[in-house]
Amino acid sequence: MKDSEYISATIIILITIVLAIIVYMRFFDLNFFVGDFRLTHWFVWIGTFFIVIYSPIYYVAKRKYPLKTKAFLRVHVFGNLFSFILITVHFAQQISRPAAFFPDLSTGLVLYIVMPVLVATGYLYRFRVFKSIKPHVNRFLHVSLTITFYITIIVHILQGLSII
């Protein structure tokens, strides 16, 4: 089962890279509105909402229901990977905008730098890709980046709402 999860996770990461290139090169025009907001904004909100909500649920649930940890872990891994796809599509669309309409990246850039590192540390930690990486060091980095993600997303939202 672990091998199929490893292969699936690897394929999802590769699909994310391909989608980022396709969106960045504008092979697909995702610059249209759904309701009051652009499609890729809906993507990033859905992806971020899942991460923000499920990460603490996972943390608590795996301790409260230790017999179901594997199921919670699968949801954590694959839910976050699919969220990463949505966030990546948004970011690729944003940075592919013409110079006259280029966004102010600020905290968005910080968030997107944190995301692939979170994915990488989670991937390395979950699948023990490199035996030389000590799990506790990698786990510390993964948790620290998660906290960075939470703090930065709060600042990013407050900036987006023009509160700060």
Closest CA to 28 of 18, 42, 13, 14: 18
pLDDT computed for residue 27 by the predictor: 95
Closest CA to 44 of 59, 27, 23, 58: 23
Q: Count of alpha carbons within 13 Å of 101, Cβ hemisphere only?
A: 6
101 vs 88, 93, 98, 162, CA distance in Å?
19, 12, 5, 19
Positions in the chain short of pLDDT 70: 1-2
pLDDT computed for residue 2 by the predictor: 63
pLDDT computed for residue 161 by the predictor: 87
**End-to-end alpha carbon distance in the chain:** 47
Tens digit of each residue's pLDDT (9 = 90 or more) over 112-145: 999 999 999 999 989 988 888 777 788 899 999 9
pLDDT computed for residue 129 by the predictor: 86
Distance CA 158, CA 164 (A): 6
pLDDT computed for residue 105 by the predictor: 86
SS3 label, residue 95: helix
Residue identified by tokens 């909402």 is: 49
pLDDT computed for residue 128 by the predictor: 86
* pTM of the entire predicted model: 0.92
